[in-house]
Structure 1
Amino acid sequence: MKKPFYKKWWVWLIAIIIIGAAASGGSGDDKKDEAKPAATEAKDDSTKKEEPKKEDNVPGEHKSALKKAESYAKAMSMSKVAISKQLTSENGEKFSAEAAKYAMDNLEFDWKANALKKAETYSETMYMSKQGIYDQLISENGEKFTKEEAQYAIDNMKADFNKNALEKAKTYQETMSMSPKAIKDQLTSKHGEKFTKEEAQYAIDNLNN
């Protein structure tokens, strides 16, 4: 009696070899598949590194204009419009219109705070009236702030306008030898100091005290 072929030892040996080869081939394919995403990811990283930064494409003149604009805003409390005109002025910084536009488009600042600082400076150093300061803040020949920025400054500034009127009256008396009546008229004039009648009267009442 012969043994069935599937009971012979060499049949099982061949089967084991075939199964082993199939298993090793499949795992090799898996490893190749796993390696593909890593290679793709590395390629993506190299592409990112090669992309130039946005700032690298900005001309040097534009960067200089932005730095100068920031300096005017921080050190001199200037308005946005005033800075823009100063950057391009022939008597100012002489930047190109394009460089000035880049500077103003990228300059972030609290313009209301600047208007307030400027208003307090006018009050403390020049003893100006509330209306006089407001008009100076919005004037095209003055600070060039917006009406909203100027009003914010007036609403939030701390000033004694009676005292300002008195200091201004003393200046007129000492430097121009004006009479009390002439001083009062100058203090309240729309073309003069623009103090209220009450503030002007306080100044006259305390002029020689």
Structure 2
Amino acid sequence: MMWVNKQFGKTARIVLTIVLAIYSIIWLTTLFTPKPTQTTQPEPTTQSQAQPSANVSATAAPTPEPTPAVPTEYKSALKKAKSYSDTMYMSKQGLYDQLTSEYGEKFSVEAAQYAVDNLNADYNYNALQKAKSYQETMAMSPEAIRDQLTSEYGEKFTQEEADYAIANLPQ
């Protein structure tokens, strides 16, 4: 009502609006931020059980090897690689370079390698999407597109991925 009736000065209305906006942003952020999952393992119980007979051998169930914990940096690199692949249709080498670039994401080479090795991306599809973009927006010839796709200064797709893209471009 203070905005309608103008009981308060312009400065008070602006300050209150900013405070309410900040409060709303904080509330929305906490509302939609995923909560960390609690992964506690139950403590082993030590109960003594009588063996029914001496003929029964005690066989312990094989315990599965614990999966090594993936470092957070590696998970972040994989998530960023997926984002680049899904939105910018980057090549495997392009993703690696972007993830490790001092002007890009600045991930360690190990994290970037983990990301590109574990990313389930269809690089033929990515090359085709890039080729379509070059064809539609820049009116490039198929050979110019192929050169751009495979250039070390361009998209850095493999020759096979570029060949697939050119072969599947709309005519």
Distance in 2, matches of 1:147 and 1:156, equals 14
Pairing 1:154–2:166 present: yes
- How well do the aligned residues superpose, as a CA RMSD in angstroms? 1.9
- Deviation of 1:53 after TM superposition, in Å, equals 2.5
TM-score by length of 2: 0.64
Pairing 1:44–2:56 present: no
Q: Which residue of 1 aligns with 2:146?
A: 134
Point out where structure 1 has 5 or more consecutive residues left out of the alignment. Answer: 1-29, 160-209
- Deviation of 1:113 after TM superposition, in Å, equals 1.2
Distance in 2, matches of 1:148 and 1:53, equals 35
Query: How many equivalent residue pairs?
Result: 121
Higher relative contact order (CA 8 A, sep 6+): 2
- Deviation of 1:108 after TM superposition, in Å, equals 2.6
Distance in 2, matches of 1:143 and 1:98, equals 22
Local SS of the residue matching 1:44? coil
Q: How does 1:86-165 map to 2 (within 5 A)?
A: 86-159=98-171
Q: Which residue of 2 aligns with 1:72?
A: 84
Local SS of the residue matching 1:32? coil
Offset from partner CA, 1:124-169 (integer Å, 9 cap, x none): 112111121111111111111111111111111103xxxxxxxxxx
Local SS of the residue matching 2:153? coil
TM-score by length of 1: 0.53
1:32 pairs, out of 48, 53, 56, with 53
Offset from partner CA, 1:96-118 (integer Å, 9 cap, x none): 01111111221232211111111
Distance in 2, matches of 1:89 and 1:151, equals 27
Pairing 1:53–2:74 present: no
Q: Which residue of 1 aligns with 2:33?
A: none
Which amino acid in the other structure matches residue 142 of structure 1? Answer: G
Local SS of the residue matching 2:166? helix
Offset from partner CA, 1:43-73 (integer Å, 9 cap, x none): 326x44xx4233xx21110111111111111
Moved over 3 A (4+): none
> Radius of gyration: which is bigger?
1
Which amino acid in the other structure matches residue 94 of structure 1? Answer: K
- Deviation of 1:31 after TM superposition, in Å, equals 3.7
